Structure 1
Amino acid sequence: MVTRVRRAAVAAAAIGMAVVPLGAAAGSAWSAPGAAAVAAPVRDDGDFAQLTPAVKQQLDEAVRKVMAQAHVPGVMVHLSAPGKGEYVKAFGIADKATRAPMRTDLNMRIGSVTKTFTVTALLQLVDQGKVGLDDPIGTYVAGVPNGDRITLRQLAEMRSGLFNYSEDPGFDKAFFADPDRPFTPQELLAYSFKHPVMFEPGAKFYYSNTNLILLGLVVEKETGQQLDDYINNRVVAPAGLKHTLFPKGAEFPSPHAHGYTNQTQSGKVEDATDWNPSWGWAAGAMISNLDDMTSWAKTLATGSLLEPATQAQRLKVIDALPGTGYGLGIFNLHGWIGHNGSLPGYEAVVTYMPQAKATMVIMLNTDITAEGEEPSTLFAEAITRIVTPDNVYTLPAQSTTK
């Protein structure tokens, strides 16, 4: 998740301020089982329901129920598994002003799903021998607190102990004063580095967007390219994604849905469609659509862009949020592997279950929580209770900000 400016993006989602988590419970800390990776504390038996007309009707009803309860304007869903059928559908509206319907071909901001692209870029450099996961970040970026001891691996695993810049009050103030303004990576890091480190490297899991900003700078340093150019050319293109973009600024290719948030100075709901996502950068700035995210979910979980040994390291998870595991920029949520995303106006869940070869992608045009729960998590939970009752997608909601 990038997160909401000010709340945790639950479920692998987010960056945040009062603004937003970009995707996973940002700002949350749990003790990790030492430096050792552990198996995901979840089942993955691969049992996926046949998508019969009756099951599809159940899914329709479940999606509409969540929409009504969480006041979601519009949502699109993709579910599929070999031999089980396919469910692809859009609900609600894409634009409150025109009442244009949500469509499955619309572009959406994907928040912290961006993290999966940034970490993939880093792991490509590992495969090329240009960086090592156990290299200290100080080798690549000067001025990082504990930079001589925090490793690239710990940054990707959210175990660095570095404060999440999007939880800094000064960041909130700057963002809300002008949501259209651009931020540089150095500005974002400055908001983090003025805070003391929160714990020793490797001691805990703490979802921090700061970690991904640093990894983005590593990619830039070692490739000699801007991060957006490298990801667009060396990750997006080889993955065969035709409608996925790491933007240079606030550009948002058409057609796209309008996004709605209450992460505002007034607390009132506003249209955040054209807010500049540079504050999320390597942690949450990207754009995509349902078809591309359906393809990416499998690419991410199976590691087709990486060497098998590197993908295996990526999928080794540590205990993170209760009942979940987090690897190298990737979640394992009860057998569903991928990431979620949340930033003002948009949320996404992009996951794949290897045992069933099943894909679940959900994209919606609001990040407004419902009784403290991320709406994307509510959709994913309701859907998986129907199609994978032994592997229900859950991501604990947190009271922490961003």
Structure 2
Amino acid sequence: MSTRLRKVAVGMAAVGLVVVPLGAGAGYALDVSSASRAAASAPVAPGASPSGPVAADGEFPQLTPAVARQLDDAVRKVMSEAKIPGVMVSLSAPGKGEYVRAFGVADKATGQSISTNMYMRIGSVTKTFTVTALLQLVDQGKVGLDDPIGKYVSGVPNGDRITLRELAGMRSGLFNYSEDEGFFKALTSNPRRPFTPQELLAYSFKHPVLFEPNAKFSYCNTNLILLGLVVEKQTGQRLNDYINQKVARPAGLRHTLFPVGAEFPSPHSQGYTDQTATGKVEDAADWNPSWGWAAGAMISDLGDLKTWARVLATGTLLKPATQAERLNVVDALPGTGYGLGIFNVQGWIGHNGSLPGYQALVVYLPQAKATLTLTLNTDISYEGSEPSTLFGEAITKIVTPDHVFSLPAQPVTGH
């Protein structure tokens, strides 16, 4: 899923099951049928996918020089076709070796090479941190997944009936604020301005609800803004402080942060987007990501994301029963299920992320204990597909052909 705006409106191709432009999730409202609800009633084990078990350990290949050359060729092919300036890739599994590469440039103006130690904006991968924070509060008995959001935040349409579980599972029925035309104009006319959570919610709440709670799956950034406010209310801390101190640090992440403004540690890559007021490509590195807040504002690097892929999928920071709740997926697209702020695509568990100028993919294949993480410095779609998905598909076709990370392309639409 992504935190992208709605200009490109590609679905689930980016992390977040629905790789929607800035707004993440535009155009995805999927019926949750009685059959899929029944199928989702049993938790999905960490290694299961909606369409079957994941690959056994022995099926993951040794990452030999020959395999590395295949991967190099596949990555370069995607870069050439989709015109990607730069990408970083990390692929590994215990006993199989490690493939870590950086391709292309971090700055098109200077020609500076991209490198694997660079910080990148990670878009909707932020959702996995916010939902982890919420689930920690569940473990502490401070919130319940079936509590209505109205218990914590007033003024939410259907707030007496929409639960925290439905918010985390993208089944609230609330309008996605980042698809609001007024929001798009406000952001693109001054992308360096700050937004408050309350301003973001106002863009959503002026629209009628899209459907009854739990009736459909519809990827929506509004849900995460509300969950971020719940975390703040129940911890007495700002969300960025809580996530930095209680999620990122205990996970062993030393190059991951939730910024409060446009700060961007060095070294970082520039980021290129066409989600602009004119539609022309601009550098978004200094844009203020506060508009994404709990849904998409965070920053990380390739090494930390590799660690986070495993922590997230295995539930290191949560009680086993709570992690099982998180992985209890509901069908979202063919071969793809969405749980609580996490997806399962053909056995790969994790999330993708996209916001102007940047994309990320952070996934884990449990039985092989394999991690695949990648970051890139553009969010410009290619033939309706998110670049992060194109890379994920190309790489997994080589190393896990029975478990190809693939999300359907969506037609490109204008505002």
Residue identity in the other structure for 1:192:
S
Q: Which residue of 2 aligns with 1:398?
A: 410
Task: For residues 288-319 of structure 1, give each alpha carbon's deviation from its aligned partner in whole angstroms, at most 9, with x where no partner exists.
Answer: 00000000000000000000000011001000
Equivalent in 324, 341, 344 of residue 336 of structure 2: 324
Equivalent in 33, 51, 61 of residue 42 of structure 1: 51
Structure 2: runs of 5+ lacking an equivalent: none
TM-score normalised per structure 1: 0.96
1:205/1:150 Cα in 2 relative to 1: closer, same or farther (>3 Å)?
same
Task: For residues 261-313 of structure 1, give each alpha carbon's deviation from its aligned partner in whole angstroms, at most 9, with x where no partner exists.
Answer: 01111111100011000010000000000000000000000000000000011
Matched, 1:249 2:269: no
Q: CA deviation at 1:17?
A: 11
CA contact under 8 A between 1:137 and 1:150: conserved in structure 2?
yes
Q: CA deviation at 1:16?
A: 10
Matched, 1:117 2:129: yes
Distance 1:269 1:17 in 2: 19
CA contact under 8 A between 2:20 and 2:26: conserved in structure 1?
no
TM-score normalised per structure 2: 0.93
Matched, 1:71 2:83: yes
CA contact under 8 A between 1:16 and 1:166: conserved in structure 2?
no
Q: CA deviation at 1:336?
A: 0.4
Distance 1:399 1:385 in 2: 24
Distance 1:143 1:373 in 2: 36
Distance 1:338 1:18 in 2: 17
Q: Which residue of 2 aligns with 1:10?
A: 12
CA contact under 8 A between 1:41 and 1:325: conserved in structure 2?
yes
Distance 1:321 1:26 in 2: 14
Distance 1:219 1:62 in 2: 41
1:81/1:15 Cα in 2 relative to 1: closer, same or farther (>3 Å)?
closer
Task: For residues 31-71 of structure 1, give each alpha carbon's deviation from its aligned partner in whole angstroms, at most 9, with x where no partner exists.
Answer: 11345425542331233122111111000000000000000
1:78/1:67 Cα in 2 relative to 1: closer, same or farther (>3 Å)?
same
Equivalent in 251, 256, 259 of residue 239 of structure 1: 251
Equivalent in 323, 338, 360 of residue 311 of structure 1: 323
1:366/1:268 Cα in 2 relative to 1: closer, same or farther (>3 Å)?
same
Pairing of 1:263-282 with structure 2 (within 5 A)? 263-282=275-294
CA contact under 8 A between 1:15 and 1:166: conserved in structure 2?
no
SS state at 1:207 partner: coil
RMSD: 1.7
Q: Which residue of 1 aligns with 2:360?
A: 348
Give percent identity, aligned residues only: 71
Matched, 1:365 2:377: yes
1:391/1:76 Cα in 2 relative to 1: closer, same or farther (>3 Å)?
same
Distance 2:276 2:13 in 1: 22
Distance 2:412 2:72 in 1: 32
CA contact under 8 A between 1:14 and 1:26: conserved in structure 2?
no
Q: Which residue of 2 aligns with 1:262?
A: 274
SS state at 2:76 partner: helix
CA contact under 8 A between 2:63 and 2:97: conserved in structure 1?
yes
Q: CA deviation at 1:175?
A: 0.6
Q: CA deviation at 1:84?
A: 1.0
Q: Which residue of 2 aligns with 1:154?
A: 166
Larger CA deviation: 42-51 vs 134-143: 42-51
Matched, 1:60 2:69: no
Residue identity in the other structure for 2:281:
V
Length, aligned pairs only: 400
Task: For residues 63-89 of structure 1, give each alpha carbon's deviation from its aligned partner in whole angstroms, at most 9, with x where no partner exists.
Answer: 000000000000000000011111000
Distance 1:30 1:19 in 2: 18
Distance 1:298 1:347 in 2: 19
Pairing of 1:164-183 with structure 2 (within 5 A)? 164-183=176-195
Q: CA deviation at 1:4?
A: 1.5
